[in-house]
Amino acid sequence: MAEQTTESRKQARLAILELANMISVPMSLNAVVRLNVADAIWEGGSNAPLTAAQILARVIPDGGGDAENLQRVLRMLASYGVFEEDIGSGERKYSLTEVGKTLVTDEHGLSYGAYVLQHHQDALMRAWPLVHEAVVDPSKEPFERANGEGAYDYYLKKPEMNELMLKAMSGVSVPFMIALLEGYPGFQNVEKLVDVGGSGGDCLKMILQKYPNIKEGLNFDLPEVVAKAPQIPGVTHVGGDMFKFIPQADAIFMKWVLVTWTDKEIKHILQNCYKALPAGGKVIACEPVLPENSDDSHRTRALLEGDIFVMTIYRAKGKHRTEEQFKQLGISAGKGYRCKEDEDCPIPWCRPLLSVCTNHQCICMEV
């Protein structure tokens, strides 16, 4: 076992220890979101380095708390690039990095903080020790095994969870849509657009504001979802089931819809899309796209981690897919496929599919 004393073996043992203790990272992130640490440091844009005691005084203004324990959390997250640590003055002070700034609440009351909290609710945490069950028997996802029913049904019965999920989706959707609308011109010449799985209609509202040529927007989702949707000028809320029909339009937009469905289900959804489109119509679907080769980049890791999240929480056979897998799904649904290079897409982690510019390519499906 002499080889175990080599430097590479030492690094291997350190790496497995880091992985085994990795739960400290999301749980500490969860803690700083709950404590509103990012807003306390940001304080209107100052982002001045603060000690843990100074931050604690802002998040618990009535006094109390343990500054030493807060510093332990901040220091660990600083090693992952969430905070910048400054010890030049002889004591540790912390400010926000670009990563940390994503947790700052904006003028609309949104941030990525709700996304963090949504991932770490008790019902979801109960599912994670059962990930191996998705390998043993994929007929039932770990969330259902842990909670007695699927995530979507469970959420509908828990208003507080559903509200947090909607807030989380808004927090990540708004910056995504801003980037999409800045870099993708595919809504030009569209007069009638349907957003499948559009929830409250936020994305459709942003599209219509950017493209006044769209005279009619249809926000299509389950009846119980659109029943709570606010009135939006130019938008009609339509309740229904995409597996039964999709309203007719010049173009169909979907964002993060296909990821939780099986290949067979996606084929059925796409076929319903094609039935709803005229000649020359198109499907514009924004979905995560896995790279063919695995690497240790932030983008690849985020996509692969998201894939396991889908498998664990939503559907054991729902999944993130590669570009080739999406291509084959499109072909199997009965329509053509064409691909066009586009290196200027502003969206770093979610390659949109079917007529939306991506990091590397544009995949178009037209009727």
The answer to whether residue 327 scores a pLDDT higher than 70 is yes
The answer to whether residue 337 scores a pLDDT higher than 50 is no
- Let me know whether 116 and 253 are in one domain: no
Number of domains the chain contains: 3
- pLDDT for 33-87, tens place per residue? 999 999 999 998 999 999 999 999 999 999 999 999 999 999 999 999 999 999 9
Residue with tokens 């037209």: 366
∠ CA 10-13-15, rounded to 5°: 110
- Let me know whether 86 and 175 are in one domain: no
- Let me know whether 17 and 115 are in one domain: no
Q: Which of 83-92, 124-133, 171-180 has the lowest mean pLDDT?
A: 171-180
Of residues 333 and 337, more confidently modeled: 333
Domain limit, last residue, from 80, 104, 128: 104
Summary mean pLDDT of the chain: 88
Q: How does residue 334 score in pLDDT terms, banded at 50, 70 and 90? A: confident
The answer to whether residue 129 scores a pLDDT higher than 60 is yes
The answer to whether residue 17 scores a pLDDT higher than 50 is yes
Amino acid 3: pLDDT: 57
- Let me know whether 190 and 94 are in one domain: no
* Residue 119, H or E segment: helix 113-119
- Let me know whether 283 and 201 are in one domain: yes
Of residues 162 and 233, more confidently modeled: 233
**Measuring CA to CA, which residue among 82, 62, 64 is closest to residue 73?**
82
- Let me know whether 112 and 80 are in one domain: no
- Let me know whether 78 and 177 are in one domain: no
Domain limit, last residue, from 167, 191, 221: 167
Q: How does residue 4 score in pLDDT terms, banded at 50, 70 and 90? A: low
Secondary structure (DSSP) of 169-223: HHHHHHHHHHHHHHH--TTTT-SEEEEET-TTSHHHHHHHHH-TT--EEEEEE-H
- Let me know whether 353 and 230 are in one domain: yes
- Let me know whether 180 and 151 are in one domain: no
Instruction: Please tell me the distance from the alpha carbon of residue 146 to that of residue 243, in angstroms, as a whole number.
Output: 27
Contact 236, 217 (CB under 8 A): yes
Can you list the alpha helix ranges (DSSP code H) found in 217-367?
A: 223-226, 263-276, 298-309, 323-332
Q: In terms of residue numbers, what domain contains 306?
A: 168-364
Q: Residue 350 is which amino acid?
A: C
Instruction: Please tell me the distance from the alpha carbon of residue 196 to that of residue 189, in angstroms, as a whole number.
Output: 19
Domain limit, last residue, from 152, 167, 182: 167
- Let me know whether 207 and 160 are in one domain: no
- Let me know whether 41 and 112 are in one domain: no
The answer to whether residue 125 scores a pLDDT higher than 80 is yes
* Residue 252, H or E segment: strand 251-255
Amino acid 344: pLDDT: 42
Q: Residue 117 is which amino acid?
A: L
